[in-house]
Structure 1
């Protein structure tokens, strides 16, 4: 299929990769226009006209311009509902929609703060020549491990976080989850003994072809 979607982002950006994996899972072609965060291009007047907070990513689809990665993902999933993996239920199915929004909230409230905190301390700070705050790292890891108990309870009843179908809510975990699990040694996501259903879920979503392709972009 043809598409005029342009994603302004940075390949190493977790939020850019959050959108990219959704596009790849849907099988929707897009153009990635790199915004160089190291040179401050995201703070240039030209980019601020697209994103007033000077953050990536931004999606441009003709005369539609959207920022915030989770909002972009919803837009993509709804616009291309009949293309590739659905990833989002119909808003007319109130139960399915409610469970999807619940799963998105779980990721944003219970997973992202600690997972992104670990990445900031142990990956992004050192890239800027700063030392990690080990006390913060310990607290982030402790909190995130405790959250896995809730994930285990949910995933012991359903295959994915919003039910038995893969949704964007599952994919949203991949960028920071991969950094935590593969780069920082956060073992709870793959601990089959303590969290067997979390490990089963994580193994499946982290090996999706769409994510393996996106991960190459993030870590190249």
Structure 2
């Protein structure tokens, strides 16, 4: 009976994968948009990317706010349904289209995955992307001068966050072992930008596992395609 159920579930999942019309709304440069797209690429799911330019305020247009009242990216549209917030999107996609492939089956590793994601959201992203990357990469592009004090003050919080991830990561070769997980999809886009700053060396100086992880992760074809 269990085998029959699993077979039926597999057939249903495959049909859903083929029949569903998926649209990802967001800025291609956004780390969170890239998180969702990496999962979709690794799951071999067809989707359409609808660019929403956060730099020109397109995310605050009435049309977009009708889909996501907070004006953030990404937003996922599945046929007539809309899902926003990256954790909700990745959980949904992983369940419906990837048969939980990107979530460990072992409860402790599941908890570790959610730990890493939460550390990234609450502690690493704000300092690494919200301050260091913005000041080093975005501000100069717009003709401004980086705020060195802001950058200096962001280094210690970024170090603390990445060292916390280092302490619980397996990194053999991926964050939680031999299989990619949603946690990898969260961290990869941040490293893509952080390595372009001089602060990367200081921040990751005491995270050898994550340096090794990064050497492997950046070779993935999905990463080359989405984060080039």
What's the Cα RMSD here? 2.5
From 54, 61, 85, the equivalent of 1:68 is 85
Equivalent in the alignment of 1:174 = 188
Equivalent in the alignment of 1:118 = 132
Please report how far the alpha carbon of residue 76 of structure 1 lies from its aligned counterpart in structure 2 after TM superposition.
0.8
CA distance change for structure 1 residues 188 and 70 in 2, over 3 Å: closer, same or farther?
A: farther
Question: How many residue pairs get matched?
Answer: 209
Q: Is the 8 A contact 1:103 1:161 kept in 2?
A: no
Q: Which has the larger Rg?
A: 2
Tell me, yes or no, if structure 1 residue 202 matches structure 2 residue 219: no
Please report how far the alpha carbon of residue 202 of structure 1 lies from its aligned counterpart in structure 2 after TM superposition.
1.4
Task: Choose 199-208 or 162-171, whichever is displaced more.
Answer: 162-171
Please report how far the alpha carbon of residue 98 of structure 1 lies from its aligned counterpart in structure 2 after TM superposition.
2.2
Partner Cα distance (2:77, 2:219) in 1:
29
Structure 1 residues 21-100: aligned runs within 5 Å: 21-82=38-99, 86-89=101-104, 94-100=107-113
Please report how far the alpha carbon of residue 189 of structure 1 lies from its aligned counterpart in structure 2 after TM superposition.
7.1
Q: Is the 8 A contact 1:5 1:31 kept in 2?
A: yes
Can you give the 5+ residue segments of structure 2 that lack an aligned partner in the other structure? Answer: 1-16
Equivalent in the alignment of 2:116 = 103
TM normalised by structure 2 equals 0.79
Q: Is the 8 A contact 2:170 2:176 kept in 1?
A: no
Equivalent in the alignment of 2:223 = 211
CA distance change for structure 1 residues 49 and 156 in 2, over 3 Å: closer, same or farther?
A: closer
Q: Is the 8 A contact 1:18 1:175 kept in 2?
A: yes
Can you give the 5+ residue segments of structure 1 that lack an aligned partner in the other structure? Answer: none
